[in-house]
A and B are shown apart, each in its own frame.
Chain A
Amino acid sequence: MSKATIVSNSSGSDTGIILRTENITKVFPGTVALDQVNYNIYHGKINVLVGENGAGKSTLMKILAGNEQCTKGRVILEGEEIHIRSPQDAMRYGIGIIYQELDLCPNMSIAENIFLAREVVHHGIIDKRTQQQHTSELIQRLEHKIDPSTLVSDLRIGAQQIVTIAKALAQDTRILVMDEPTSALSTTEVKVLFRVIYELKSHGITIVYISHKLDEVLQIGDCISVLRDGRLVAKEDVKNIDLHWIIEKMIGRKLETLFTRKKHKIGKVLLRAENITLPRVSGGYAVNHVSFELGKGEILGIYGLKGAGRSELLECLVGANPLATGKIWLGDQDIGDKTTLKRIQAGLVLVPEDRQRDGLVLTLSVTHNMILASLEKYLNRFRLYLVKNKEKKAVNTLIKELSIRVADPKNLVVSLSGGNQQKVVVAKGLLTNPKVLMLDEPTRGIDVGAKHEVFEIMENLAAQGYGILFVSSELKEILAMSDRILVMSKGTITSNFTAEEATEAKLINASVAGNGLENKGEQ
């Protein structure tokens, strides 16, 4: 990798491709994440990559960063095939990546993080001063003023993002991949980040920018590539396209068939919550005096940005947070001060957002996961021990009902694909005979087909008289599925729309209400 080859290639070739992939295929248990992707990254440009959740964007980037190995295919950097077997390899080739979940050690200082595993040593002893000096220079280059000895845990998310960028730059990165860099940032922080990105571009650094926020993409991108279901379906210069083009390419023809919501009657109130409040340890409220009602057979969507308090609200409702206060009625029963177990028995069940962290026990089989919340149902007549046949019957019924694709329920749950894992969590909830089912981001990280099935399941359940509360960050999902939509921002409910009156614009407006305008929750 000498300087000479770089120069000759970038000037000599008119296409200006710095890196391309040839027929990259990646197979995960149960899903083909990438299917023969030929992806081009143009030198010195801001290359935007978009696609729905689970379209394969992150997987593609992980392959380039050396965190995953592709099943088939080649990666070509400046005309030469390279093999990226580890993050260290990627670094050597000048590929740096900034993940959605920032990979910093919060217990260490900025300088220590930036020089992690590449410490500047003098006679075997870390040269703290040089490290800090380099760090200061890097941070200044990114138009920030932060003391390099500050602990990362003391920084705001936006500043942490800058640190990760500095970390990548410190490694002489030529291609910088940013995976959803703005998902946790405030509007002003996004502006700062964009300035930094332009600055990097002017220094000849190639940027790959992955985002869900399409308006951002149009604003910052030079060229765009669209992934759908693991395939690269389109590439174009950003100046030639508009928002409709992106959406059309992302969703494909499945747009009409995906969400069809039948109208149905909404019965009497099933779940009533009053003044649900969850104080934040750092002051203010994560959930700020939230009240709402949910009717029988109703699908109530909760929309909001990350950190708006949606997941926290659901956790309060299910009794997972001891600091939560407020009144909750399920039917006529007051369950506000009951334990999680009692609430589940009363008929309130949560399908958590992060299924691997909160929903599943990965060391157990599909069967054992499914029946975990309803074990007492499978006891023998004298309630002494579990009866295998009862378990099997219940599990098989739900496998059929939710069409979970599993060879044998005795297999470990990790061997299933994301969508099927999600259905296992839903099945676990349904086996408790709930009245109200709460789903937190039920379609996160699952493919389009599985999404469709999850929606079908929700719709069927609502038709059977369950009350369904579901949280989603995806506008079109929430618009298509909900009878009514609550929008949360900064821990409070800012709006309440019926399905008819809700539009994307209204939801977005409501979701940013309170950001900088009013600060009721932050006292």
Chain B
Amino acid sequence: MGEDKATKAKRLKRITRTDILEFVMKGRVFFALIIVIAVFTLISPGFLNIANIIIMSKHVAIYAVLGIGMTFVMISGGIDLSVGSIVGLSAMIAGGLIDEGIQLNQFGLIVFPHTWMVIIITLFVGIVMGAINGLVITRFKVAPFIATLGMLYIARGFAGLRNNGYTFSNLIGKSEFGNKGFERLGAGNFLGISYSIWIMVVFAMVAFFVMTRLPFGRQVFAIGGNRRAAKLSGVRTNQIETIVYMISGFCSAMVGLIIASQLVAAHPATGTGFELTTIAAVVLGGTSLSGGRGSIGGTIIGAFVIGVLSDGLVILGFSTFLQNIIKGIVIIVAVVIDQIQISMQERLALQRQELK
């Protein structure tokens, strides 16, 4: 407007400096990842060998896929504690379908579905579990924490009940039943990269698109940011919220399949404790527990940090106790920095206003 060149230049300079600061703060998880890898490589120069990278990336893929579902839930302002149990239940469902088939006793029949059908049925079970979470939360107004905590027990119970606590082993199927090839999901690779990583990449891309380009994604953000405003704007809050839990259930079932396939066995305790690691990855990625803020990209990087950290500490020979302490510190520091960033951004906004 009416300002002379000197003040204008001053302002430009100032904004670029704060912009750099903002950029560093926004990319902090990414920088953290680089630092973690760098430190590990310094301590043990062989850290980044092919075998390690393959192991780590497989773990990362699991946390990332779970994290994608959890990101939807957490941006909508909820939380899903049942992911680990749904992982276990889906593994058991898939294992049972391959080893025992579907027993139709009244007809004296046993139907062995094709491998691809096993996968679809399992994913469907995951979606149904998520839908139950969503319906309990939206229809009966149960707090997400409680509803999914209940589901954590229920799904784990069913996982044990499925084979009385025993493992379904040797999930390779039989060629005469036409259900061979399940192990390929975990062991196979495309262009030298394992399927689980491709699944992560595809899920991440789809989720990113859904979050940024579909009305659904916008509405998830709106619900997490301000439920009442979203509702008055015509957002079908109950429906969207239910779908969000269905996505999380779907992602959990996918992970159950991947793990069962990697181990060629399904154990009822598969995925125990995954919910907390997943939440840690999502929070590390900058998603707010109170909803309305977060991103898929952040979650993927968060999953990398958690995965690299946990595997790296094992590879470097840290004791389990030390591992836990370090992980705990990293999570808390990440959230502390997150809070600092929020207040800093507010201050910056104020500063810019005052300059005008």
> A-side interface residues toward B, CB under 8 Å?
27-30, 71, 318, 320, 339-341, 343-345, 350, 352, 357-364, 368, 371-373, 375-376, 379, 385-386, 407, 411-412, 414-415, 428, 432
A-B pairs with the 5 shortest C-beta distances? Answer: A363-B292, A361-B225, A375-B215, A363-B225, A373-B233
Q: Tell yes or no: B102 within 8 A of A by CB.
A: no
A-B contacts, 27 listed (Cβ < 8 Å): A27-B350, A27-B353, A340-B231, A340-B232, A340-B234, A341-B235, A341-B236, A343-B234, A345-B234, A350-B232, A357-B228, A359-B232, A360-B226, A361-B230, A363-B225, A363-B288, A363-B292, A364-B221, A368-B218, A368-B221, A368-B222, A372-B222, A373-B233, A376-B215, A385-B209, A385-B214, A412-B349
What residues on B are CB-neighbors of A339 within 8 Å? 236
Query: Are B229 and A27 interface neighbours, CB within 8 A?
Result: no
Query: Are B222 and A361 interface neighbours, CB within 8 A?
Result: yes
CB distance from A322 to the nearest CB of B (A): 11
A364 in complex: contacting residue of B209, B222, B232, B350, CB < 8 Å: B222
Query: Are B222 and A320 interface neighbours, CB within 8 A?
Result: no
Nearest opposing residue in chain B for A384, CB measure: B214
Q: In the complex, what distance in Å separates the CA atom of A384 from the CA atom of B105?
A: 45
What residues on A are CB-neighbors of B229 within 8 Å? 352, 357-361, 372
CB distance from A359 to the nearest CB of B (A): 6
Q: Tell yes or no: B213 within 8 A of A by CB.
A: yes
Q: Tell yes or no: B293 within 8 A of A by CB.
A: yes
CB distance from B71 to the nearest CB of A (A): 15
Bitwise, B227-267 to A at CB < 8 A (1) or not (0) is 01111111110000000000000000000000000000000
What residues on A are CB-neighbors of B288 within 8 Å? 363
What residues on B are CB-neighbors of A30 within 8 Å? 353
Q: Tell yes or no: B219 within 8 A of A by CB.
A: yes
Nearest opposing residue in chain B for A373, CB measure: B233
CB distance from A228 to the nearest CB of B (A): 22
What residues on B are CB-neighbors of A412 within 8 Å? 349
Nearest opposing residue in chain B for A30, CB measure: B353
CB distance from B38 to the nearest CB of A (A): 33
Query: Are B236 and A361 interface neighbours, CB within 8 A?
Result: no
Q: Tell yes or no: B224 within 8 A of A by CB.
A: yes
What residues on A are CB-neighbors of B349 within 8 Å? 29, 411-412, 414-415
CB distance from B224 to the nearest CB of A (A): 7
Q: Tell yes or no: B354 within 8 A of A by CB.
A: yes
Q: Which B327-356 residues have a C-beta within 8 angstroms of A?
A: 346, 349-350, 352-354
Contacts A361-B225, A385-B209, A415-B349 given: A27-B230 contact, CB under 8 Å?
Answer: no
Most buried by B among A358, A371, A414: A358
Query: Are B353 and A415 interface neighbours, CB within 8 A?
Result: yes
CB distance from A405 to the nearest CB of B (A): 10
Query: Are A358 and B232 interface neighbours, CB within 8 A?
Result: yes
Most buried by B among A360, A373, A375: A375
CB distance from A200 to the nearest CB of B (A): 38
CB distance from A381 to the nearest CB of B (A): 14
CB distance from B18 to the nearest CB of A (A): 14
What residues on A are CB-neighbors of B235 within 8 Å? 341, 372
Q: In the complex, what distance in Å separates the CA atom of A470 from the CA atom of B161?
A: 61
What residues on B are CB-neighbors of A363 within 8 Å? 221, 224-226, 288, 291-293
Q: In the complex, what distance in Å separates the CA atom of A461 from the CA atom of B274?
A: 55
Query: Are B232 and A375 interface neighbours, CB within 8 A?
Result: no
Q: In the complex, what distance in Å separates the CA atom of A320 from the CA atom of B234?
A: 9
Most buried by A among B218, B230, B346: B218
Q: In the complex, what distance in Å separates the CA atom of A419 from the CA atom of B99?
A: 66
Q: In the complex, what distance in Å separates the CA atom of A63 from the CA atom of B288?
A: 31
CB distance from A413 to the nearest CB of B (A): 10
Contacts A385-B213, A386-B218 given: A364-B236 contact, CB under 8 Å?
Answer: no
Nearest opposing residue in chain B for A386, CB measure: B213
CB distance from A389 to the nearest CB of B (A): 12
> B-side interface residues toward A, CB under 8 Å?
209, 213-215, 218-219, 221-222, 224-226, 228-236, 288, 291-293, 346, 349-350, 352-354
Q: In the complex, what distance in Å separates the CA atom of A414 from the CA atom of B343?
A: 13
Contacts A27-B353, A362-B225 given: A320-B218 contact, CB under 8 Å?
Answer: no
Most buried by B among A341, A362, A363, A368: A363
CB distance from B355 to the nearest CB of A (A): 11
Most buried by B among A339, A358, A360, A361: A361
Q: In the complex, what distance in Å separates the CA atom of A428 from the CA atom of B214?
A: 18
What residues on A are CB-neighbors of B293 within 8 Å? 363
CB distance from B205 to the nearest CB of A (A): 13
Query: Are B221 and A375 interface neighbours, CB within 8 A?
Result: no
Query: Are A386 and B214 interface neighbours, CB within 8 A?
Result: yes
What residues on A are CB-neighbors of B224 within 8 Å? 363
Query: Are A352 and B232 interface neighbours, CB within 8 A?
Result: yes
B230 in complex: contacting residue of A350, A371, A372, A411, CB < 8 Å: A372
What residues on A are CB-neighbors of B292 within 8 Å? 361-364
Query: Are A320 and B231 interface neighbours, CB within 8 A?
Result: yes
Query: Are B225 and A320 interface neighbours, CB within 8 A?
Result: no
CB distance from B351 to the nearest CB of A (A): 10
Q: In the complex, what distance in Å separates the CA atom of A362 from the CA atom of B224?
A: 10
CB distance from A71 to the nearest CB of B (A): 8
What residues on A are CB-neighbors of B228 within 8 Å? 357-358
CB distance from A248 to the nearest CB of B (A): 32
Query: Are A318 and B232 interface neighbours, CB within 8 A?
Result: yes
What residues on B are CB-neighbors of A360 within 8 Å? 226, 229
What residues on B are CB-neighbors of A411 within 8 Å? 349
Q: A360-B229, A432-B234 are in contact. List 8 more A-B contacts (CB 8 A).
A: A343-B234, A358-B228, A359-B232, A361-B226, A373-B233, A379-B215, A385-B209, A411-B349
Q: In the complex, what distance in Å separates the CA atom of A362 from the CA atom of B236?
A: 19
Q: In the complex, what distance in Å separates the CA atom of A28 from the CA atom of B354?
A: 8
CB distance from B353 to the nearest CB of A (A): 4
What residues on B are CB-neighbors of A375 within 8 Å? 215, 218-219
Q: In the complex, what distance in Å separates the CA atom of A354 from the CA atom of B54?
A: 53
What residues on A are CB-neighbors of B353 within 8 Å? 27-30, 415
Query: Are B218 and A372 interface neighbours, CB within 8 A?
Result: yes
Query: Are B226 and A362 interface neighbours, CB within 8 A?
Result: yes
What residues on B are CB-neighbors of A359 within 8 Å? 229, 232
Q: In the complex, what distance in Å separates the CA atom of A350 from the CA atom of B350?
A: 30
B234 in complex: contacting residue of A358, A373, A415, CB < 8 Å: A373
CB distance from B33 to the nearest CB of A (A): 25
Query: Are A386 and B234 interface neighbours, CB within 8 A?
Result: no
Query: Are A428 and B233 interface neighbours, CB within 8 A?
Result: yes
Query: Are A372 and B233 interface neighbours, CB within 8 A?
Result: yes
Query: Are A320 and B209 interface neighbours, CB within 8 A?
Result: no
Query: Are B219 and A27 interface neighbours, CB within 8 A?
Result: no
Q: In the complex, what distance in Å separates the CA atom of A318 from the CA atom of B236?
A: 14
Q: In the complex, what distance in Å separates the CA atom of A414 from the CA atom of B342?
A: 12
Q: In the complex, what distance in Å separates the CA atom of A414 from the CA atom of B350?
A: 11
Q: In the complex, what distance in Å separates the CA atom of A372 from the CA atom of B225?
A: 12
Q: In the complex, what distance in Å separates the CA atom of A375 from the CA atom of B350?
A: 30
Q: In the complex, what distance in Å separates the CA atom of A358 from the CA atom of B222?
A: 11
Q: In the complex, what distance in Å separates the CA atom of A386 from the CA atom of B233?
A: 18
Q: In the complex, what distance in Å separates the CA atom of A351 from the CA atom of B291?
A: 24
What residues on A are CB-neighbors of B225 within 8 Å? 361-364
CB distance from A135 to the nearest CB of B (A): 34
Q: In the complex, what distance in Å separates the CA atom of A385 from the CA atom of B149?
A: 34
Q: In the complex, what distance in Å separates the CA atom of A480 from the CA atom of B136?
A: 50
Nearest opposing residue in chain A for B288, CB measure: A363
What residues on A are CB-neighbors of B214 within 8 Å? 385-386
Q: In the complex, what distance in Å separates the CA atom of A413 from the CA atom of B226?
A: 13
Q: In the complex, what distance in Å separates the CA atom of A386 from the CA atom of B217?
A: 10
CB distance from A70 to the nearest CB of B (A): 13
Nearest opposing residue in chain B for A358, CB measure: B228
Most buried by A among B214, B222, B234, B354: B234
